[in-house]
Amino acid sequence: MNVAQFNPQVRSIATIVVGFILTCSSVYSNPTPVRLLAGESAYDRLGFAVSSIGDVNNDGFADVIIGALNNEEGGQNSGKVYIYSVKTNQILSTIIGERNEFFGYSVSGAGDIDHDGYDDYMIGAPFKTISSPRDGQVRVYSGKTGSVLFIFDGPAGMQFQFGTEVASAGDINGDGFDDIIVGTLWGQTRATVFSGADGSPIYSFNTATTVAPVIISVNGAGDVNQDGFPDLMVGEAGEQSLVSVYSGKDGSLLYLFEDTITLSNFGESVAGVGDVDKDGYDDMIIGAPDRYWITNGPGMAYVYSGRTGAILFTFSGSGLEESVGFSVATAGDYNGDGYLDFLVGAPQTVEMAPPSDFGHVYVYSGKDGALLQTFTSTTIGERFGSSVFVIDANNDGLDEVIVASDYGSFSGTSSGQISVFSHPGICCFTPGDANNDGLFNIADVSFGIARIFSGGEAPPCQDQADSNGDSAFNISDITFGIARIFSGGPGPSCGVTGM
């Protein structure tokens, strides 16, 4: 075991098609969502939980599951869950919860656990009454038929809020069936892994804290110890905040990461991010959204090596109480450079109060930690970035970015909404090629002079015209070009931009 401490933590749902964007704009610019999915009614909080669930209808495209925990179609605080096709912009199915169970508090894909060729999914209802309110329940559904495959109940009468978090664990025991992990807010057991083959418990992981947490997170970690079995992450955030990483092979503790800053909520979000540093071991990302909140700090997110447990990258925002790290996820190879990248949500949540500012989602490079793209909400207080993930919804090899705003008010106060952002595209170009003829030469200098001084034609791609790499096309690019072409100055290198 490795221990690391640091001090660096039925009315239809509204669907709006905005139109796909195919422009040559910078990956650093703030794009517009191509689709917006809004809750049905005020206070539904659609998007409180959201996840990719694989291909549930077997049409060849990845689908999404969305929880609206406060929807009251089935009674007060019954909750409702939507299965959504991003590709077709259609709701494939809905499931309505029961009174006061907050159905959809947690959602996740489960893999194809019944081996019928359709991906399945699971939904948590942590306030479900078994013998007492808040005992909690998790239900696993068939993607093919919508029928219930498994029901897992929390301990009867204990009010532990079993099902606060759910996630796919992968096939941890090598039996050919994907397994699942369920988080519990209270009690000694913080997470339980269940078999996808028969629903039997495989592991139970007890709390690692001496002070009861207020937030639990669970997720798959990938294979961090390179033993051929997927491993698991359990976050316990609160007055004492830590993340335990467990072996999927034998349940042993591989790492214990703990933040020594009180109430940083380190571990509120956890995710596996693949082999970021290309050392053959899968790596992990952990959010600490309230780090330094007492001093109005922005929050933090950390990427850890699966091989050594060392911190590979640290990310922090620029705004006060920005809640950087409230949500974290892999972004795949977002910019096409051969390295896996990251998503970090910063919904601008103020501790113990409603959110007060515009939310952000950041895409960071796994190669060098550089900021690749920023998504920014257009409305104050909607918790834009409360959940984030990517899927390739149209099988073009480029991931769309899904961002939840569970306080969004498109259909009424806190109705909640999901924004879908099209990938800006990847193209390798000739920097300085203002006239887009594939060359960087005197014709580009002339083009720039005509544009800047005489109001001539705009460059087809501003990033491409930006020869000096300062994210603007202006007189400095003319000077740079003249120095390069006539005086042998430094030349620009190949770049990445939107298409």
What is the pLDDT at residue 185? Answer: 93
CA–CA gap between residue 119 and residue 42 (Å, rounded): 31
What is the pLDDT at residue 451? Answer: 81
pLDDT tens per residue, range 86-136: 888 899 999 999 999 999 999 999 999 999 999 999 999 999 999 999 999
| pLDDT confidence band for 300 (50 / 70 / 90) | very high
Q: Please tell me the least confidently modeled range out of 18-27, 203-212, 214-223, 336-345.
A: 18-27
Residue 209: pLDDT above 70? yes
Residue 20: pLDDT above 70? no
| pLDDT confidence band for 475 (50 / 70 / 90) | confident
DSSP state of 389: E
- 449 Cβ neighbours under 8 A, 6+ residues apart: 478
Mean pLDDT taken over the chain: 85
CA–CA gap between residue 190 and residue 308 (Å, rounded): 25
Which percentage of the chain shows pLDDT scores above 90?
Answer: 62
- 363 Cβ neighbours under 8 A, 6+ residues apart: 27, 331, 334, 341, 342, 343, 371, 372, 373, 374, 375, 401
Q: What is the pTM of this model?
A: 0.81
Tokens of 192: 């339980």
Q: Are 276 and 286 in contact (CB under 8 A)?
A: no
Q: What is the largest CA-CA distance in the chain?
A: 82
CA–CA gap between residue 335 and residue 315 (Å, rounded): 18
| pLDDT confidence band for 356 (50 / 70 / 90) | low
Tokens of 210: 């001496």
Residue 184: pLDDT above 60? yes
**Side by side, which strands form the sheet with 189-194?**
162-170, 179-184, 189-194, 201-206
pLDDT tens per residue, range 255-289: 999 998 878 899 999 999 999 999 999 999 999 99
Place of tokens 């072409």: 485
Name the nearest CA neighbour of 124 among 145, 154, 147, 159.
Answer: 154
Name the most confidently modeled range: 8-12, 29-33, 229-233: 229-233
Q: Is 463 left (phi over 0), alpha (psi -120 to 50) or beta?
A: alpha
Q: Could you write out the DSSP letters of every residue in 293-306? A: GGGT--BEEEEE-T
| pLDDT confidence band for 8 (50 / 70 / 90) | very low
What is the pLDDT at residue 1? Answer: 45
Q: Please tell me the least confidently modeled range out of 74-78, 135-139, 401-405, 441-445.
A: 441-445
**Side by side, which strands form the sheet with 231-237?**
2-6, 253-259, 241-246, 231-237, 215-222
CA–CA gap between residue 156 and residue 132 (Å, rounded): 7
What is the pLDDT at residue 292? Answer: 65
Residue 152: pLDDT above 70? yes
Mean pLDDT of 288-299: 72
Tokens of 292: 């330094």
More confident call, 207 vs 135: 135
Which percentage of the chain shows pLDDT scores above 70?
Answer: 83
| pLDDT confidence band for 7 (50 / 70 / 90) | very low
Q: Are 478 and 472 in contact (CB under 8 A)?
A: no
Pairing outcome for strands 300-304 and 46-54: unpaired
Q: Give the number of residues written for the chain.
A: 499
Name the most confidently modeled range: 27-36, 191-200, 288-297: 191-200
